[in-house]
Copies of this chain bind each other. A is one copy, B any other.
Amino acid sequence: MTRLNATHDPTRRSWVESANVPGADFPIQNLPFGVFSQGDGPKRVGVAIGDRILDLTALEAAGVLEPAPGRPVFAEGVLNPFMALPQEVWSRTRARIAELLDAQTGGPDGLVLVAQADATMHLPIFVRSFTDFYASREHASNVGSMFRGPDNALMPNWLHLPVGYNGRASTVVVSGTAIRRPNGQLKAPDAEAPHFGPCRRLDIELEMGAIVGTPSAMGQPVTTAQAYDMIFGYVLLNDWSARDIQVWEYQPLGPFQAKAFATTISPWVVTREALEPFRVPTPERIKPLLPYLEEASPNNFDIALAVDMAPAGGAGDGAATTISRTNYRHMYFSSAQQLAHHSASGCAMCTGDLLGSGTVSGSTPDSLGSLLEITWNGRDPIDLGGVSRTFIEDGDTLTLRGWCEGEYRVGFGECAGTVLPAVDYGR
Show the binding face of A for B, using Cβ within 8 Å: 128-129, 134, 144, 155, 157, 160-161, 163-171, 173, 180, 182-185, 187, 193-196, 218-221, 223, 242, 245, 248-258, 260-262, 287, 290-292, 341-342, 344-350, 353, 423, 425, 427
Contact = CB atoms under 8 A, between A and B. Distances in A.
A181 to B, nearest CB: 9
A180 B218 CA distance: 9
The 3 closest A-B pairs by CB, nearest first: A254-B254, A182-B345, A166-B166
Given A221-B183, A253-B165, A248 B170 contact: no
* Identical chains in the assembly: 2
Contacts of A196: 290-292, 344
Contact of A345 (B183, B220, B290, B342): B183
12 contacts: A163-B252, A166-B168, A166-B256, A171-B348, A182-B346, A218-B261, A218-B262, A221-B423, A257-B342, A260-B346, A261-B345, A261-B346
B253 A134 contact: yes
A245 B345 contact: yes
A223 B423 CA distance: 14
B163 A249 contact: yes
B344 A184 contact: yes
B249 A347 contact: no
Given A257-B344, A261-B345, 15 more contacts: A129-B169, A161-B194, A165-B254, A166-B167, A166-B256, A170-B353, A171-B218, A171-B347, A184-B345, A185-B344, A218-B262, A250-B253, A257-B342, A258-B345, A260-B347
A257 B180 CA distance: 31
A218 B170 contact: yes
Contacts of A161: 185, 194, 249
Contacts of A250: 252-254
A144 B128 CA distance: 33
A423 B180 CA distance: 45
Contacts of A185: 157, 160-161, 290, 344
A255 B258 contact: no
A338 to B, nearest CB: 11
A199 B7 CA distance: 45
